[in-house]
Structure 1
């Protein structure tokens, strides 16, 4: 096994992880975490030598001077990069939610870019074969939530690599939430969609490299055999600001690390008729609707939820739900990341809004028939809330599934 590479099928024994904490762990001696790409480059790309390479990437695949890795690799004689595969929002990141950039020739490098978003594994496999690549390399910054689509682009690309007979390599990056302990509901069979293909927890607490190992071991029968180029200097519980890495927004509505901290819970507001803040400068941190008012902030602050406070807020989103309409609502302020539970907080907010505004509050329907069922992974959360459950009762409903996932997850962890 090459140094810095972990084979997908090999479990890494770990000592028992300590209690959840956001305290910093020792960073690499060069002043910060070294990503998988940095380790790959420092080794002269030896893991890719003699291979035609295709890169699954978006704007987050950058080095410390903010140059894009595709541009860096294209300019190196040590690696033969011949294709790029773009996820949701596109390779260069110009598309909004639910969109992509299509397939085209990148004007900067001349490399062919294939649109991998919302494509079947067979369609992606056809792209792999058409491009003539030998190895697929994945490097996209995840934010730690099951319904963030990049991890499922990785999963579909792994399935495609199996079909096309290609190697699969993951250049690992930090979980920006610290990755200490998984929490939230686990997806149930029958609720698979583009925002959750397989049964993992809503806040999975894994890096993309660790997820690739879990996907292969649990859902792909060990056929993908992903190789993970590990980071150096990252430890579980490390705050993003302590990694020394730049935060490049992974998608148009994920502008800051604060957005990412709130997102695993606040993303649930996509499933109700309350604006999740798209069309404002603080998406997923400011939420509201024309029917909401100051009572909501007062009610939420009265709950004394750990690690968070709420400001009465008014805004008019420029697009998405309630576009150009005045909305009342709240802005969320995380006061202590170590105590803040985004999923529990968001559910308490939804329960509060449903109770305060019973004639106006509604779940958004989809073919499922409810979007909340796809985001939470089953109908358990919705039916519990509709049945009058409080947040403790809702959370209790997924604990058995979560305990099983936590045990499963531990077998694939690479970092202490």
Structure 2
């Protein structure tokens, strides 16, 4: 196992890498050094001119559920003001950033490698603000927990851009946050503090870094691994396991019968097995109701294809439970998750959505690591 120095660790050792006289740190609980010291604490101890914290979805402390954040406050540990940026964009976000008085924004949040995870879109919107306001933007790079050799799924159609996807990326994008910041192409004073020692083929377990939950429903690296596929069930009336200890690994609904698990197992999907199970979500969809479904057990991370798996599960669910399955959700959420309306139209027609999934590819565009 090789030792990886994250961008945060490098900056804590040499705060001059950030430049700027008034730094604003965009962070959450994943913003830590390998010894679990919060990046904000480490930067202050190193004498960095940190003057404000900015929070994404779930908040700086990570206490809020999906689609919520924490309000503006003062951080009790550092005494720094905390600015809630979630769902702010354009002029409203510019006003928040300008009011903070920072001259440099520093991004230190771990991504999970899926297009519809919102942290990279907070980075995107803040990059846009930095460009408009003439600020410097620094990304403290971290590993993609899914590795960096495989991209899966179609590109987002810009007509379906939203806060779960603002730029044409595949569902599993295969890039680090630093690589994404470069790819987005804003006319901004951008600096990526690169990792040292990371290789694209590394699984998260090979990095030696601690896993800190990126959000309340992302408890383990195994959750992140399945999320680009089973996250699509958020756009249906199936439970995606929220309200259980295994979100996105448990998938089920009250109308599922004993045919679901065998039908999935019969597909012989690479790297994964399905176990029939029952669970009762404590909150979210079907809260307090026992549902039947499956748990995904990934036995070969290198061979596992989360997007193909998620589409295959949707196809089986549509075939077996056409009278019960609803897949659009509020405000056509499935279309935003998928990045176009091709998936919902395919399901409407009773067709096999796996035809929509191109063969896995290597990420293209500017890459910072070989």
TM-score normalised to structure 2 length: 0.97
1:181 is displaced (CA, Å) by: 2.2
Structure 2 residue 214 is matched with structure 1 residue 245: no
In the alignment, the residues of structure 2 paired with residue 60 and residue 412 of structure 1 have an alpha-carbon distance, to the nearest angstrom, of 25
1:49 is displaced (CA, Å) by: 4.8
1:308 is displaced (CA, Å) by: 0.6
Task: Tell me the residue number matched to 1:10.
Answer: none
1:395 is displaced (CA, Å) by: 2.1
In the alignment, the residues of structure 2 paired with residue 147 and residue 132 of structure 1 have an alpha-carbon distance, to the nearest angstrom, of 30
Structure 2 residue 233 is matched with structure 1 residue 269: yes
In the alignment, the residues of structure 1 paired with residue 90 and residue 148 of structure 2 have an alpha-carbon distance, to the nearest angstrom, of 28
Q: Indicate if the aligned counterparts of 1:269 and 1:276 stay in contact, CA closer than 8 A.
A: yes
1:412 is displaced (CA, Å) by: 1.0
> 2:223 is matched with which residue: 235, 251, 259?
259
In the alignment, the residues of structure 2 paired with residue 188 and residue 366 of structure 1 have an alpha-carbon distance, to the nearest angstrom, of 19
1:392 is displaced (CA, Å) by: 4.0
> 1:62 is matched with which residue: 19, 24, 32?
32
Structure 1 residues 254-333: aligned runs within 5 Å: 254-333=218-297
Task: Tell me the residue number matched to 1:6.
Answer: none
Task: Tell me the residue number matched to 1:37.
Answer: 8
Cα distance change of structure 1 residues 338 and 50 upon mapping to structure 2, 3 Å threshold: closer
In the alignment, the residues of structure 2 paired with residue 319 and residue 347 of structure 1 have an alpha-carbon distance, to the nearest angstrom, of 25
> 2:46 is matched with which residue: 50, 57, 76?
76
Q: Indicate if the aligned counterparts of 1:122 and 1:163 stay in contact, CA closer than 8 A.
A: no
Q: Indicate if the aligned counterparts of 2:33 and 2:39 stay in contact, CA closer than 8 A.
A: yes
> 1:336 is matched with which residue: 283, 300, 313?
300
In the alignment, the residues of structure 2 paired with residue 302 and residue 393 of structure 1 have an alpha-carbon distance, to the nearest angstrom, of 18
Task: Tell me the residue number matched to 1:167.
Answer: 136
Name the SS for the 2:59 alignment partner: coil
Task: Structure 1: give runs of 5+ residues left out of the alignment.
Answer: 1-25
Name the SS for the 2:283 alignment partner: coil
1:117 is displaced (CA, Å) by: 0.5
Task: Structure 2: give runs of 5+ residues left out of the alignment.
Answer: none
CA distances 1:80-104 after superposition (whole Å, capped 9, x unpaired): 1000100000001111101110111
In the alignment, the residues of structure 1 paired with residue 352 and residue 129 of structure 2 have an alpha-carbon distance, to the nearest angstrom, of 43
Cα distance change of structure 1 residues 351 and 411 upon mapping to structure 2, 3 Å threshold: closer
CA distances 1:324-357 after superposition (whole Å, capped 9, x unpaired): 0010000000011111110110111111011111
Structure 2 residue 199 is matched with structure 1 residue 235: yes
Structure 2 residue 114 is matched with structure 1 residue 145: yes
Structure 2 residue 128 is matched with structure 1 residue 132: no
> 2:349 is matched with which residue: 358, 366, 387?
387
Q: Indicate if the aligned counterparts of 2:178 and 2:192 stay in contact, CA closer than 8 A.
A: yes
In the alignment, the residues of structure 1 paired with residue 179 and residue 245 of structure 2 have an alpha-carbon distance, to the nearest angstrom, of 32
Q: Indicate if the aligned counterparts of 1:126 and 1:164 stay in contact, CA closer than 8 A.
A: no
Count of residues paired in the alignment? 370
1:134 is displaced (CA, Å) by: 1.1
1:280 is displaced (CA, Å) by: 0.4
1:64 is displaced (CA, Å) by: 1.7
In the alignment, the residues of structure 2 paired with residue 375 and residue 231 of structure 1 have an alpha-carbon distance, to the nearest angstrom, of 30
Task: Tell me the residue number matched to 1:413.
Answer: 367
Structure 2 residue 356 is matched with structure 1 residue 356: no
1:161 is displaced (CA, Å) by: 0.6
> 1:46 is matched with which residue: 4, 16, 26?
16
Name the SS for the 1:183 alignment partner: coil
In the alignment, the residues of structure 2 paired with residue 241 and residue 294 of structure 1 have an alpha-carbon distance, to the nearest angstrom, of 35
